[in-house]
């Protein structure tokens, strides 16, 4: 049976304020139920707070945070002969960035008692300093991949 064609990659235009593709993708990650303007307010508010707290360029802090949270390895379940093995596989470029963004947003959402822009700015600052929940998630993923290194020969 022939495989289906790969779907076309959706083209994301750079955001209007920072003219940056990665920021535009991050806005789309934060967006829920198609409310893009709300997501933009959250992101730009968080970036403003980052600027106030660190006195540095928020896009630089954001890129550093994404770089620190991006995983190199992940584990994928692979079924071989009735047993399911957790096989460590390398994470490719765009998947690496999207996972990092998802983890940062999830870590910010998990915090309680503050507006989302404050939680997001805190998480981005912590991630840029190699601290925080999102960095811990990456380290756990790497630890799991390292623990299951014996099954690496099952990688496809």
pTM of this structure? 0.89
The total number of structural domains that make up the chain: 1
Residue 46 — pLDDT band, cuts 50, 70, 90? very high
Does pLDDT of 152 surpass 90? no
In-domain check, residue 3:
no
Residue 63 — pLDDT band, cuts 50, 70, 90? very high
Q: Residue 109 is part of which domain span?
A: 21-154
In-domain check, residue 39:
yes
In-domain check, residue 5:
no
In-domain check, residue 12:
no
**What number is the average pLDDT over the span 133-138?**
95
Q: Is the Cα torsion angle 116, 121, 124, 125 positive or negative in sign?
A: negative
Identify which has the larger pLDDT, 10 or 111.
111
Does pLDDT of 155 surpass 80? no
**Which CATH number fits the domain that encloses residue 67?**
1.10.455.10
In-domain check, residue 11:
no
In-domain check, residue 29:
yes
**What number is the average pLDDT over the span 34-40?**
95
In-domain check, residue 139:
yes
Residue 80 — pLDDT band, cuts 50, 70, 90? confident
> What tens digit of pLDDT does each residue of 109-129 get?
999 999 999 999 999 999 999
Average the pLDDT over each of 49-53, 105-109, 120-124, 150-154 and give the range with the smallest value.
150-154
Residue 16 CB neighbour total at 10 angstroms? 11
In-domain check, residue 83:
yes
């Amino acid at each position: 049976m022939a495989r289906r064609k790969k779907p076309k990659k959706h083209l994301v235009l750079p955001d209007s304020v920072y003219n940056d593709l990665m920021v535009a993708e991050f806005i789309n990650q934060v967006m829920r139920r198609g409310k893009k303007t709300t997501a933009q307010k959250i992101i730009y508010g968080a970036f403003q707070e980052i600027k106030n707290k660190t006195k540095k360029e928020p896009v630089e802090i954001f890129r550093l945070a994404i770089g620190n949270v991006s995983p190199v390895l992940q584990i994928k379940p692979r079924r071989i002969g009735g047993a399911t093995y957790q096989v460590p596989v390398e994470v490719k470029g765009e998947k690496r960035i999207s996972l990092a963004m998802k983890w940062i947003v999830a870590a910010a959402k998990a915090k309680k008692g503050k507006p989302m822009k404050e939680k997001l700015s805190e998480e981005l600052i912590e991630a840029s300093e190699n601290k925080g929940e999102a960095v811990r998630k990456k380290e756990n993923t790497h630890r799991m991949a390292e623990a299951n290194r014996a099954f690496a020969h099952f990688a496809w």
